[in-house]
Structure 1
Amino acid sequence: MGYSRDELIEAVSAQMPAKRWQHTQGVMESAVKLAEQYGADPEKADLAAILHDVAKYWPIEKLKDVLEEHQSSSELLLYNKQLWHAEVGAIVANHDYGITDLEVLDAIRYHTSGRIGMTLLDKVVCLADYIEPGRDFPGVNNIRKLANDSLEEGLLAGLDSTISLLVSRREIIFPLTVLARNDLIKQLEANS
């Protein structure tokens, strides 16, 4: 990696409002705790958490340009723009910050949508994004409670809350999120 952790923090924090940086710090803290609890690599969890929202506050046109330039999933462009920053974040982490670890890049890429066959690190970063201490939305305390006992149960509750919110707003649901949810249910059933 071409950047030290401190340099990376400085570069990333400069690209977002202070409140979003506080969120990122909460995700970093939560991701490391979850990684330690469930056996993922805490350093990779910290790195992915630092970068997970690096492109969150970029203008929509810039996000679109990066997605088109890197020929990322054109399907993604058909869905909610709130999903775009995750894919762009993985691209930026690789191209601008020299992150080459595919596991870290994928944890950034799938932190909003999930995916089928999520890795341990994917699950840790995605769940940390839901439960970081600054989050305050209906059901978050239940998600936190579930996360204490099961990474998969906590993440399933998080995805359920996202899907329920989108349904209540009559918004389109990104299919990968539904597939990720279904895959988690299969994993939980297989382990019960």
Structure 2
Amino acid sequence: MDLDELADQLVASAVAAGQESFVVLGESLGSAVAVRIASRHPERVRALVLTAGFPVADPVLALAAQLIKTLAGAGQWRDMARLACLSCLSPTDLADIAPADLDALVTQTLAGMPPGTVDHFDLVSRVDVRADLGHLSAPTLVVAPTGDRLVLPQSSYRLAAGITGAKLIELPGAAHILNEADRTTWLRHVREFLGTLPAKSA
């Protein structure tokens, strides 16, 4: 998987669907993809919304990516799902799950893993968009879940610091995968941000 090719393919798909310009929302690795899209196709990007993102894998994410690739290589898919549950949910969310239901959660997580999961984390370990940040001109909202245990909140702070004029919003205690309440708060912030953008020209 190549970051530039992925960015170009997504833009081509949007243009083919009749969208000449658009807002790009990226979460986790998707934030790096969104940054690269804005860097390579600035004329098409009206704004960016980057959630739980990173310009380059921080130490926690880098170790998790290595561990996931190792577990997958050994065929330990269920352990990989356990790691995903531990990393992507908050302690509060996990505390609400009855011990008897943990196995079902792991099974559900495993069933939801797409075939490209290993390729995804391979790209996570290689991506580096730090050099792109200073060249971005699109209005940008950066959302940092402060309870994220997969991508450190500091990675979101670095994204915001590197993009001129970026607005930073924190979701206190939120995990890498937002629960319903945090997603509702996230949606409110995104709508408010989008409401500040100039009207799209006809």
**The two structures share one fold, judged by TM-score above 0.5:** no
Q: Which has the higher helix share?
A: 1
Normalising to structure 1: TM-score of the pair? Answer: 0.26
Higher relative contact order (CA 8 A, sep 6+): 2
Q: Counting strand residues as a fraction of each chain, which structure ranks higher?
A: 2
